[in-house]
Amino acid sequence: MKFEITPGVDWVGKIDWELRKFHGEEYSTHRGSSYNAYLVRDEKTALIDTVWSPFAKEFVNNLDKEIDLNQIDYVIANHAEMDHSGALPLLMHRIPDKPVYCTANGLKSLKGHYHKDWNFQVVKTGDKLSLGKKELIFVEAMMLHWPDSMMEYLTGDAILFSNDAFGQHIATEHMFNDLVDQSELFEEATKYYANILTPFSPLVTKKINEVVAFNLPVNFICPSHGVIWRDNPLQIAQKYLQWAADYQENQISIIYDTMWDGTRMLAEHIARGIKQADDKVTVKLFNISRRDINDVVTEVFKSKAILLGSPTINKGILNAMSALIEMITGLKFKKKKAAAFGCYGWSGESVKILTDHLSKAGFEMIGDGFKAMWQPGDEALAQALAFGKDFAGKV
Ligand code: FEO
C-alpha cells in the first residue's frame, strides 16, 4: 500500500492492524499502529525512515515496485528504534553505498543496533540537503524521545517530518487527521504523549518554540505513527504545548488493587466523600489489576490528584500497583497531589509504602493516608468518606 500526500511525496510505510502490545509488553495499542515511511521525489529522491523489522521484507518488496531502489539517492534515518529502522539492514543490503543521514547520536545508536558501517552522513540542526527545487532542512530533536531523534522540514511543500513526535498508535485506512474519528484520534494522541513524552515535557516546549520561531509555513505534519496532520496541522503542536505545561483537568483518579474487596470498598467511599465535597470534580475509579496500565497512566496524566490504594500483603503492596508505581515514577509527573489508602490485617505497611513511593515520584502528598484494619465496617467506611471529603478540600 502507498498513497500520495502531495505531488512528489508518498507514504510508503506499513499499517499494522494486529499490533496490541508495543515496546515489548510496555505499551498497549488497542487500535493497532502504523510505521510511516515517506518517499520524497524531486530531481533527487529521499526515503525518510523505514518500518519495523518483521515487515522489512514486505516493505522493501513494495518499495522495489514503487521505485528502482537504485534511484533512491538519500536515506534519512530519523531514529534508530527498530519500529523505524528495522528494515534498514535489508534495504542497505540492496543499496549499500547510498548515504544514510542521521544525527551524531543516531550514528551511535544505528551502529549499536546493526553493527554496520553504512555510508553515514551526520547532520545537525539547520543543515540542508537539496533535492532539486526543494530541500530538506534537518532539525535535531534530542530526547523527543531518544537522544538520536531527528525531524526535517521539506521546503516548497511545507512538510514537517516529525518522527515519533505528534504520533498516535492507530491503524486506519484513513491516514489523514480530518478523516478519522476525532475523539479516538485525540484519545490516542493523549495516551501517546502521556506514556512516552511526559518526562521530556520541558524539551517539548523548547523544541516547538524553536521550530515556530523559524516562522515557516506548515502544510503537513507527518509523524512516524498514525495519521498525518493536514487539517490545521499545528493544532497538535498547540496541544503538545498544553500537555507539556504540567497538564491537568479537574479530575481525581482513585486507583486501587484489592484482595477481598476491602480496599475497593474504601475506594468507593473515598470517591463518594470527594463528590460530596465537590460536585464539579470528575472522580474516576480504576482497579489496576483489571485495567490496562497505559490507559490508567493516561488518566493519571489528566488528573490534578490521585489516590493509590492497596491492601498489605507480606509487608508490601500488591504487584499490579508496584508496576504502576514504577511507571509513574519514570514519567516524572509534576504539580499533582496524592494520598494513599488500604486495608490490612495484622501489620499494615501498605499505606506508608505507597506514600513514600508517591513522594519520591514527585507527587505532593496530602497527609499520611488512610488505613482500615480487617474488612471495613460502617465506622471505617464513614471514616473513608470523611477522608475523601477532606482530600477534596485540600486539592
Ligand atoms: Fe516509534 Fe521511538 O519509536
Q: How confident is residue 25, by pLDDT bands cut at 50, 70 and 90?
A: confident
Burial bucket for residue 35 (CB in 10 Å: 0-12, 13-18, 19+) = buried
Flag whether pLDDT at 42 surpasses 90. yes
- The alpha carbon of 335 and the centre of ligand 1 are apart by a number of angstroms equal to 27
Which residue puts its alpha carbon closest to atom 1 of ligand 1?
164
From the CB of 302, is ligand 1 less than 6 Å away? no
Active site residue 83: yes
Which has more confidence, 215 or 103? Answer: 103
Task: Indicate if the pLDDT at residue 227 is higher than 90.
Answer: yes
- Three-class SS state of 300: helix
pLDDT bracket for residue 23 (50, 70, 90) = confident
Strand extents, DSSP E, 80-147: 99-102, 119-122, 128-130, 135-140
Of 188, 219, 244, the residue at which a domain comes to its end is 244
Domain assignment of residue 209, given as a range:
3-244
User: Average pLDDT for residues 282-290, to the nearest whole number?
Assistant: 98
| Coil, strand or helix at 35 | strand
Distance 80 CA to ligand 1 centre (A): 8
Ligand 1 atom index nearest CA of 82: 3
Separation CA 180–CA 170 (nearest Å) = 10
Task: Give this prediction's pTM.
Answer: 0.96
Do 358 and 232 share a structural domain?
no
pLDDT digits (tens, 9 = 90+) for 63-79: 999 999 999 999 999 99
Average pLDDT score over residue span 334-349 = 96
pLDDT at 213 over 90: no
- Phi, psi dihedral angles at 340 (to 5 degrees): -125, 160
Cα end-to-end distance, the chain, whole Å:
51
User: Mean per-residue pLDDT for 44-58?
Assistant: 98
C-alpha radius of gyration, the chain, whole number:
24
236 and 321 belong to one structural domain: no
pLDDT greater than 90 at residue 212: no
Given 35, 101, 192, 256, which residue is catalytic? 192
Mean pLDDT of 22-32: 91
Selecting among 10, 42, 49, 83, the annotated active-site residue is: 83
State CA 323 to chain mean position distance: 17
Closest CA to 256 of 215, 186, 306: 306
Hey, whose CA ends up nearest to atom 2 of ligand 1? 81
Q: How confident is the model at residue 272 (pLDDT cuts 50, 70, 90)?
A: very high
Q: Residue 339: how many CB atoms within 10 A of its CB?
A: 29
Q: Is the peptide bond before 79 cis (omega within 30 degrees of 0)?
A: no
pLDDT digits (tens, 9 = 90+) for 79-116: 999 999 999 999 999 999 999 999 999 999 999 999 99
The domain that contains 338 carries what CATH number? Answer: 3.40.50.360
Q: Are 215 and 312 contained in the same domain? A: no
Q: What percent of the chain is helix, strand and coil (3-state, nearest 5)?
A: 40, 25, 35
**What pLDDT is recorded for position 240?**
97
Q: Is 84 in the pocket of ligand 1 (CB under 6 A)?
A: yes
pLDDT(393) > 90: yes
Percentage with pLDDT > 90 across the chain: 97
pLDDT at 24: 81
- Which residue among 195, 225, 244 closes a domain? 244
Cα separation of 101 and 135, whole Å?
14
Any idea what the CATH number is for the domain that residue 140 is in?
3.60.15.10
Is 225's C-beta closer than 6 angstroms to any atom of ligand 1?
yes
Q: Are residues 219 and 270 in the same domain?
A: no
Could you tell me if 178 and 259 lie in one domain? no
Q: What percent of the chain has pLDDT over 70?
A: 100
- C-beta of 79 in contact with ligand 1 (< 6 A): yes
60 and 181 assigned to the same domain:
yes
Asked whether 236 and 229 are in contact (CB, 8 A), the reply is: yes
* Integer Cα distance of 137 and 15 in angstroms: 27
In this structure, the answer to whether residues 35 and 168 fall within a common structural domain is yes
Q: Which of 81, 152, 257, 278 is catalytic?
A: 81
For 351-366, the pLDDT digits (tens) are: 999 999 999 999 999 9
Per-residue pLDDT at 176: 98
Mean pLDDT, all residues of the chain: 97
Which residues touch 65 (CB under 8 Å, ≥6 apart)?
A: none
CA–CA–CA angle 65, 67, 73 (5° rounding): 150
Q: Is the CB of 83 under 6 A from ligand 1?
A: yes
Residue 115 Cα, ligand 1 centroid: separation in angstroms? 20
Please give the Cα distance from 75 to 355 (Å, whole number). 50
pLDDT, position 387: 98
Look up residue 173 and give its DSSP letter: S
How far does the centroid of ligand 1 lie from the alpha carbon of residue 282, in Å? Answer: 33
Residue that the C-alpha cell 519500529 belongs to: 83
- CA 202/CA 54 separation, integer angstroms: 34
Examine the domain organization and report whether 212 and 299 are in the same domain: no
Residue that is last in its domain, among 244, 267, 293: 244
Domain identity same for 82 and 127: yes
Q: 164 and 49: one domain? A: yes
Rounded Cα–Cα distance for residues 219 and 199 (Å): 29
Q: What pLDDT is recorded for position 214?
A: 85
Angle, nearest 10°, between helix axes 319-331 and 293-302? 50
pLDDT at position 1, please?
A: 82
Distance 226 CA to ligand 1 centre (A): 12
- Identify whether 23 is a catalytic site residue: yes
Question: Tens digits of per-residue pLDDT, 108-134?
Answer: 999 999 999 999 999 999 999 999 999
Residue nearest atom 3 of ligand 1, based on CA coordinates:
81
> Which atom of ligand 1 is closest in space to residue 146's alpha carbon?
2
Shared domain check, 323 and 190: no
Say how many CA atoms lie within 13 Å of 362 toward its Cβ.
13
Can you read off the three cell numbers belonging to residue 342? 488500604
pLDDT at 206 over 90: yes
Is 218 in the same domain as 273?
Answer: no
pLDDT at 245 over 90: yes
Q: What pairs with residue 74 in β-bridges? A: 46
Q: Is 174 a catalytic residue?
A: no
114's enclosing H/E stretch is: helix 104-114
- CA 82 to ligand 1 center in whole angstroms: 7
Query: How many structural domains are present in the chain?
Result: 2
- Cα 283 to ligand 1 centroid, rounded to whole Å: 33
Residue in the structure block whose three cell numbers are 460530596: 276
Alpha helices in 226-292 (DSSP H): 234-244, 262-277
Assess whether the C-beta atom of 224 lies below 6 angstroms from ligand 1: yes
Instruction: Determine contact, residues 12/61, Cβ cutoff 8 Å.
Output: no
